[in-house]
Chain A
Amino acid sequence: DQQVKQNSPSLSVQEGRISILNCDYTNSMFDYFLWYKKYPAEGPTFLISISSIKDKNEDGRFTVFLNKSAKHLSLHIVPSQPGDSAVYFCAATLFNTGANSKLTFGKGITLSVRP
């Protein structure tokens, strides 16, 4: 039972354009969501997060949108750069269970940014 779903396995965009990565979740108890980026032979690194009390969080070129009623979130990267090419994981957790809560990850999306 996949509680966090990333249904598109890959995405290819032109440098300078917008990348939109989508994620859906089924567990309505999740209250904190994160995006991680992973390069080959490296561990996942934290990118951006959003609490369920917000619908948008922005950090430089990265913006995450949350639609609680649809149980959907998306990561927007504007403008996309070749260095953004990586696997992006969406993750969710129950924040109020305490610090360092366990994360439930999606399968990941491979983003390729063409020069």
Chain B
Amino acid sequence: DAGVTQSPTHLIKTRGQQVTLRCSPKSGHDTVSWYQQALGQGPQFIFQYYEEEERQRGNFPDRFSGHQFPNYSSELNVNALLLGDSALYLCASSRNEDSGANVLTFGAGSRLTVL
């Protein structure tokens, strides 16, 4: 049973460019959350998608946007990249009907480097 799959695993971009990161949730999961983990920091909540809509959002600018597809997979888009956007981007999936925050399953992440 595959867990959460993220692609690409590593990528390098330059300032001002745009990037798209992809996430396939664990089988049976319908909710996707994205987190940013900067070097030496803990993961920070970006937003959560359920039923193809953004349900919750953390303290991130509008340059960060997302999408959820009918098959529950998700994309994270970041426009006008800044050096400070360099981080590990983690996707976590869950089932909406489950209760309890411990039901999140994380992927291994996509490491973005902005030069």
Q: Which residues of A contact B (CB under 8 A)?
A: 4, 6, 32, 34, 36, 41-46, 49, 89, 91, 93, 95, 99-108
Contacts and interface: CB of A to CB of B under 8 A. Distances in A.
B33 A100 contact: yes
- Say which size band chain B's interface belongs to: 20 to 34
A46 B104 contact: yes
Contacts, number: 71
Interface in B21-47: 31, 33, 35, 40-45
A85 to B, nearest CB: 18
A44 B106 contact: yes
Q: Kindly list the 9 A-B residue pairs having the minimum CB-CB distance in the complex, ordered from nearest.
A: A43-B106, A105-B42, A102-B45, A100-B94, A93-B101, A49-B102, A46-B102, A105-B43, A44-B106
Contact of A99 (B42, B97, B105, B108): B97
A96 B45 CA distance: 18
A43 B48 contact: no
